[in-house]
Amino acid sequence: MLVYLLRHAIAEDSAATDSARDLTAQGLVQARSVTEKFRQYSPAMDRVLCSPYSRARQTADAVMTLFPDLAPTIDEGIKPSGDVYAVIDAIESYELQHLLLVSHNPFLSNLLSVLVDGTMESHRYVDNATLHCLSMDVVAPGCGEILYTLEP
């Protein structure tokens, strides 16, 4: 299975609520840039999960141009404070070949750390508009291998 982790692009510093923060002009450019780099890999996708937060949805909108036949699934579980282990269990149950998650930190950094190293203690960091492609024969802590990383 290939699991793609994409953090939202640069967002406004503040809004009425954290979930309402939109991408900045620079963030929109970043989202398009990482999408164009991802296009070069001719990715296939079975499912796209997206945080309900505005900045994640806007980042997903850019990437979804690569998958016109799919619609992202809004997933409350991948908010910034999402439960990494619950999401790993959900990923395992999907039985997919290609899954993209568009989310936030600290969730994505924690998820990347657990999937690759088996622990959050490794503190792997996912930067804005950065995509990590992980290969996993078994969806479990420590079983992921980073195949490539794309930055804007």
Radius of gyration of the chain, Cα coordinates, nearest whole angstrom: 14
Residues 48 and 70: beta-carbon distance below 8 Å: yes
Place 104 in a pLDDT band, splitting at 50, 70 and 90.
very high
Q: Across residues 43-69, what is the average pLDDT? A: 96
- Give the start-to-end residue ranges of the domains of the chain: 2-150
What are the tens digits of pLDDT across the range 120-147?
999 999 999 999 999 999 999 999 999 9
Does domain 2-150 fall under CATH 3.40.50.1240? My reply is yes
Residue range 90-96: mean pLDDT, rounded: 93
Whether residue 96 has pLDDT greater than 90? yes
Average pLDDT over residues 80-105: 96
Residue 67: CB partners within 8 Å, gap ≥ 6?
45, 48
**What pLDDT, on the 0 to 100 scale, is given for residue 5?**
98
